[in-house]
Every structure is written in structure tokens, then in C-alpha cells.
Amino acid sequence: MKAKQLRPFIIGNWKMHGTQRALRRLDTLAAGLAKQNNKANNAKPRKVDIMICPPATLLLSMAGQLKAAQDAGQQIMLGGQDCHAEASGAHTGDISAPQLRDAGAKASLIGHSERRTDYNETNKQVQAKAAAAHAAGLMAIICIGETLKERRAKATLPVIGKQLRESVPQDKPKDNRLITAKNTVIAYEPVWAIGTGLTPTGEQIAAVHAHIRKALIRRFGAEGERIRILYGGSVKPSNAAQLLAIPHVNGALVGGASLQAGEFLKIIAAAREIG
């Protein structure tokens, strides 16, 4: 199956890092992107979608900052890190998808392995959260990935297939609620590669991404060819070009390296070079 060229998507997940001071990073990021765009203008740059998912406390301030960057020509989208499955209610400490949207987010990570591990989130809960994100007009970035034990047991593909099947919401044509490449992104993140410095081999990543692509096409037809599949897990400047060149890898979900504007810029620059 030939891999379709899709616009690369690079997402920075700041996790529970950063207070207001961290917003300075965005100025460095916007300035660096301006440089990349100017340099690339002559050479017809590859367009790359860029998003930052900061802690919830920074969403609103960051939305203002990103608006200013956008007015200056640098498009950086804002995303949440999780949302509740309900739109509102008695759920102390939780944030709903409409609240994320109200704060300026365009998307939310859903089912990140840290949520699945720390809060025992099941595929069913992840699916409900993704449906809530869609209902609020947000893009759902649905995270899936195997543990080291599952990889060693050679269960990676079945595990990934089940997570995908059960975590992605069903098409609901009656409610005009369809899964599209605009509202859904899949992030393949092997649990054992997150924050560890370890990455699967290129062949291992290629096999999983091809498996996900096939499953998406089987379920969503032509739309499944356009849904972007990101790789996440210890992506850094030194391995970004290699990882982003793997067939059906349409971008990266970046944790640690997104906390340094310089590192994140290098990963974005690598994405511009692919293709």
C-alpha cells in the first residue's frame, strides 16, 4: 500500500510542566518559525501543522499569545491534554471539551498512555472522550500504544488494533457526526518509548503505522487514507528526520523535546524537509 503524502503535524505535549514563565518559550518558537518560513520561502517550504498542548492553567494566556503570533504570520494551534466525556457537571478537577474550546483550544489529546496508566482509562472511556471532543468541535488526537510486555509477547499489532477499534468513535451519520481527517488524528506511542530515550526500529514503526492505516481504510474508506498517524516516543532533533521519513508516519507527538523551543524548532525543520 503506497503511503499518501499528508501535511505533517508536529504536536508538543508539555504535560504537567511550566508556569506563566514558560510562555516565553512561545516567543522563541514564533521567532524561529518566522526564520524557517523566510528561509524556506524561496524553496517552496513544506507546510507543517504545529500545535502546543500546554497544562490547562496556561491555555488562556497562551491563546492570546498565539493570536499575536498568528497576526504576525506564524500559525501555531493550541490543544488540551485531556477532556471529560461530559460537557458539564459535578466533576471536580476535570475540564470539558466545550471549556477547552472556550479557552481557545482546537484539539485535545485523548487517551495518552499517562492517563491510561495513572487513571486506568479504558478504551471505552477514551472513545467517549473523543466523541465529546468531536461534539464540541475539537479535533481528537487519540493516543494508542503497546507496553514493553506486550511487545515482548509479540502482541503489538493485536493490541494496537483493539485500542484503535475501541477508542475511535463510531461514525454517526444520523447525527451528522462522522470521523474525518479534520477531526481525528491517531498518535502511535509505544508506552515503553515515552520519556525513556528508547525508540522502536524503523521497521517496527513502519509495521504498526501500516497496520493502523489499513484498519482506518477498512473502517472509514477514503477518509481513512487521509487521517494522520503520528509517531510519539522519545522524538528528538537527532532522530526526527529518520522517524518522519517512515511510510505512514505523518508527524510526531513530542513530549520532552517540546519543552525547549530550539529542540522543537529542529523537529519542525526536519518535518519540512520530508517528501
Q: Kindly tell me which of 8 and 232 has the beta carbon lying closer to ligand PEP.
A: 232
- Answer for the pair 109, 143: CB distance below 8 angstroms, yes or no: yes
Nearer to ligand PEP, 68 or 245 (CB): 245
Pick the closer one to ligand PEP by CB: 32 or 256: 256
Instruction: Take residue 40 and report the three cell numbers written for it.
Output: 524556506
- C-beta of 194: minimal distance to ligand PEP in Å? 4
Q: CB of 251: closest distance to ligand PEP in angstroms?
A: 12
Judge whether 140 and 134 are in contact, CB under 8 Å.
yes
Shortest Å distance, C-beta 186 to ligand PEP: 13
Residue 233 in the binding site for ligand PEP (CB under 6 A): yes
Which set of grid coordinates corresponds to residue 129? 472522550
Q: Which residue among 84, 112, 134, 209 is the active-site one? A: 112
Residue 219 grid coordinates: 473502517
What separation in angstroms does the CA of 193 have from each of 1, 100, 137? 26, 28, 31
Taking the complex as a whole, the smallest distance from the CB of residue 96 to ligand PEP amounts, in Å, to 22
Compute how many residues bind ligand PEP; rule: CB under 6 A.
14
Q: How far is the CB of 44 from ligand PEP (least distance, A)?
A: 29
Q: Which amino acid is at 135?
A: A
Element (H, E) at 98: helix 97-102
Q: Which stretch binds ligand PEP (CB under 6 A): 55-63, 84-92, 146-154, 230-238?
A: 230-238
Chain-centroid distance of CA 123 in Å reads 17
Residue 240 DSSP code = H
Among 49, 121, 189, 263, binds ligand PEP (CB under 6 A): 189
Select which of 114, 121, 150, 189 is catalytic. Answer: 189
Q: Which secondary-structure segment (H or E) carries 141?
A: strand 139-144
Residue (121 or 189) nearer to ligand PEP, CB = 189
The yes-or-no answer on residue 112 being catalytic is yes
- Radius of gyration for the chain, computed over Cα atoms and rounded to the nearest angstrom: 18
CB of 233 to ligand PEP, least distance (A): 5
Mask of contacts with ligand PEP, 13-52, x by CB under 6 A? x-x-------------------------------------
> 51: which strand partners?
11, 77
One of 254, 269, 271, 274 touching ligand PEP (CB under 6 A): 254
Does position 251 interact with ligand PEP (CB under 6 A)? The reply is no
Q: Is 108 in the site for ligand PEP (CB under 6 A)?
A: no
Of 78, 85, 138, 194, which one interacts with ligand PEP (CB under 6 A)? 194
Q: How many residues can be counted in the chain?
A: 275
The Cβ of residue 7 has, within 10 Å, a number of other Cβ atoms equal to 15
- b (16+ CB within 10 A) / e for 90-127: eeeeebbbbbbbebbbbbbbbbbbbbbeeeebebebbb
As annotated, the active-site residues are 112, 189
